[in-house]
């Protein structure tokens, strides 16, 4: 079977991202990572803002799971909803894992947060693949992508336990969807409308990452009312909501 140039480009970019990440030196997780600005307690809940803000993930993930299970007819292929169902289910786990981590931040708790995040990233990558490259392909590669995501988080934590922390494979699970997702939007027309919603969701997530980098400055600027990391949770949940919004509003395109 002849490979289309778009598929060849996607494979080439995947290889470049992989080689680029592996070319980096091992990246241990510094203990200072756990020093978040929002450290206030309330009603016995430590780090309350960073803990409670994870309810946004649980809520939007639950909304997504309910919508997908109630509207399977909104997907052109019957099995096409599996990546999205997995994605929203993983988002619920992100909220639970992140709240667990922020209750008493350390590497051991961070593992559960990152494991759920990796599964969510890989699931949305499979969903985009299903919408744009082929429904069967997205569903078939979903288990393999979930395995890659899980291994990225497991490898990081195992390396920390060995005293040789290495974030590279975990970073790969975030880099691939952020690079390949927009690229697939450019290269492959979707079988659905609402093409612009996915790039908007990516922008919301990039803003979330930016807010996280400004955790303490945002906390200081707002007089302690809001920290950058808390804002990251809210913006990232908004990114997930935008994907749910896309699913609710999109329609099938006529078959060519």
Predicted confidence (pLDDT) per residue in 72-104, tens digit: 999 988 788 999 999 999 999 999 999 999 999
Query: What is each CA distance from 41 to 47, 54, 129, 229, in whole angstroms?
Result: 5, 15, 43, 16
Distance of CA 236 to the CA centre of its chain: 8
Residues with Cβ within 8 Å of 230's Cβ and at least 6 positions away in sequence, in order, are 38, 49, 50, 53
Separation between Cα atoms, residue 18 and residue 234, nearest integer Å: 30
Residue 2: the pLDDT is 46
Spell out, as residue ranges, where the chain has pLDDT lower than 50.
Answer: 1-2
> Could you read off the pLDDT of 155-167 as tens digits, one per residue?
999 999 999 999 9
pLDDT, position 255: 61
| CB distance 242 to 180 below 8 Å | no
Task: Please provide the distance, in angstroms rounded to a whole number, between the alpha carbons at the two ends of the chain.
Answer: 21
At 208 the pLDDT is 98
Q: What is the pTM of this model?
A: 0.93
Helix (H), strand (E), coil (C) string for 130-195: HHHCCHHHHHHHHHHHHHHHHHHHHHHHHHHHCCCCCCHHHHHHHHHHHHHHHHHHHHCCCCECCC
């Amino acid at each position: 079977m002849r490979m289309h140039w778009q598929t060849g480009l996607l494979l080439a970019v995947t290889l470049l991202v992989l080689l680029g990440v592996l070319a980096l030196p091992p990246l241990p997780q510094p203990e200072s990572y756990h020093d978040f600005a929002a450290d206030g307690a309330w009603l016995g809940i430590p780090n309350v803002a960073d803990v409670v803000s994870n309810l946004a993930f649980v809520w939007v993930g639950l909304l997504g799971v309910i919508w997908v299970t109630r509207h399977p007819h909104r997907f052109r292929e019957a099995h096409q909803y599996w990546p999205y169902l997995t994605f929203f289910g993983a988002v619920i786990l992100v909220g639970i894992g992140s709240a667990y981590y922020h209750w008493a931040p350390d590497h051991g708790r961070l593992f559960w947060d990152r494991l759920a995040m990796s599964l969510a990233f890989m699931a949305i990558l499979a969903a985009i693949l299903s919408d744009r490259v082929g429904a069967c392909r997205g569903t078939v590669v979903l288990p393999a992508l979930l395995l890659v995501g899980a291994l990225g988080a497991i490898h990081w934590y195992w390396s920390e336990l060995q005293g040789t922390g290495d974030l590279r494979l975990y970073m790969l699970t975030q880099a691939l969807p952020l690079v390949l997702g927009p690229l697939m939007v450019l290269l492959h027309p979707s079988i659905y409308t609402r093409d612009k919603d996915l790039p908007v969701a990516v922008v919301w997530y990039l803003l979330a990452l930016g807010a996280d980098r400004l955790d303490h400055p945002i906390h200081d600027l707002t007089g302690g009312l809001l920290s950058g990391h808390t804002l990251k949770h809210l913006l990232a949940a908004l990114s997930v909501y935008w994907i749910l919004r896309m699913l609710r509003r999109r329609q099938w395109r006529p078959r060519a």
